[in-house]
Amino acid sequence: MALRTMISGRAVRSGAAMGARSISSWWRNVEPAPKDPILGVTEAFLADPSPNKVNVGVGAYRDDDGKPVVLECVREAERRIAGNLNMEYLPMGGSMNMVEETLKLAYGENSELIKDKRIAAIQALSGTGACRIFADFQRRFRPESQIYIPVPTWSNHHNIWRDAQVPQRTFHYYHPESKGLDFASMMDDIKNAPNGSFFLLHACAHNPTGVDPSEEQWREISYQFKAKGHFAFFDMAYQGFASGDPEKDAKSIRIFLEDGHLIGCSQSYAKNMGLYGQRVGCLSVVCEDEKQAVAVKSQLQQLARPMYSNPPVHGALIVSIILSDPDLKKLWLKEVKVLLLLINFTTGYC
């Protein structure tokens, strides 16, 4: 006899009455996903029994013995956290202190935008999470839009906007023959894109090429964006790794702000603090005024809620402690310069 179960006032038949489909057939049509071009290398590395192997997949710091490197400023921050950390949820928007300190790195210590509360910002799951939240935000509120992505770019950019169902176009960036920026073709693509297009820009230390526009070229790019009414979304995963100076590496963003652009920005501490597994980042959107910023932030939080509810606390505390303490921040800036000497621009997490 078939069983009956009451669910929300309705009788649901189970057992043979559910039909002929076998339970084992539900996922019969699922094929293995293709290997990730970055993480697949790490999987192969871990599976290889050879003692003489090198992981050239995810870019991460290693010492001379191939062991992971943890920055001293991070170690000190963890010492201060030890025994003092509770396990309470953070708000949906994350650690306010971490977000405030992070905005200063991108927009400037004395930014008028910060003072006027014109920036909607939330803590995100590193740069990947920040990009994904923005892609979903773009899809929800500008459903007719598409995103222009440079060739080449970090491979996960394509996955992020694809899964957010935002149509993608590409624009010229790298010139393989000269191993430099294909500036003329890039400018042509910017000029020829429909007015009001969305563009993904690497703020500094372009991944995977390491090739960045000069300051003068950034000014020309900003001018053309203004003329065309384009929106710039900056992915800044490597702040400090282009020049060794995080302030200098934010120049592209500052130029756009000087020209009055309303931009979006993704920031990550995976690389410049070595907090890979902590997944600490920030998403920010510059708005017309404080009222608009409040509305935008509420929608960013609304998008985060069904994804992961609220971000993790430990990494956010590490960042907050380092950036809020003058001595630790000074140590971090010193360590960033050392890391710049070691960095190898492989594709990886951001």
CB 263: neighbour CB atoms within 10 A? Answer: 22
Give me the pLDDT at residue 153, please: 97
Instruction: Please tell me which residue in 136, 182, 189, 271 is annotated as part of the active site.
Output: 271
Mean pLDDT, to the nearest integer, of 269-286? 96
Distance of alpha carbon 266 from alpha carbon 259, whole angstroms = 20
Active site residue 48: no
Q: Annotated catalytic, 154?
A: yes
Beta-strand ranges (E) seen in the chain are 4-7, 10-13, 119-125, 147-151, 168-172, 174-175, 180-181, 198-202, 231-236, 264-268, 280-286
Q: What is the pLDDT of residues 149-193, one digit of tens each?
A: 999 999 999 999 999 999 999 999 999 999 999 999 999 999 999
Name residues whose C-beta falls within 8 Å of residue 158's C-beta, 6 or more positions apart in sequence.
149, 168
pLDDT digits (tens, 9 = 90+) for 282-296: 999 999 999 999 999
1 pLDDT band (50/70/90 cuts)? Answer: very low
Minimum mean pLDDT range among 7-16, 37-46, 200-209: 7-16
Active-site annotation holder among 136, 154, 161, 182: 154
Higher pLDDT, 282 or 67: 282
pLDDT tier at 200, thresholds 50, 70, 90: very high
DSSP state of 57: S
Confidence at residue 19, expressed as pLDDT on a 0 to 100 scale: 53
Tell me the percentage of the chain whose pLDDT exceeds 90. 75
271 assigned to active site: yes
Distance set, CA 116 to CA 232, 263, 289, 294 (Å): 21, 16, 8, 12
245 vs 336: CA distance, rounded Å: 8
As a whole number of angstroms, the distance between CA 194 and CA 214 comes to 25
pLDDT at 8 over 70: no
Per-residue pLDDT reduced to its tens digit, 90-140 = 999 999 999 999 999 999 999 999 999 999 999 999 999 999 999 999 999
Q: What is the dihedral of CA 331, 123, 258, 236, to 10 degrees?
A: 60
Runs of H (alpha helix) within 93-204: 96-107, 112-115, 126-141, 155-163, 183-192
Residue located via tokens 């013995």: 65
Q: Indicate which residue of 189, 212, 235, 249 is catalytic.
A: 235
- Look at strands 198-202 and 147-151 and give their pairing: parallel
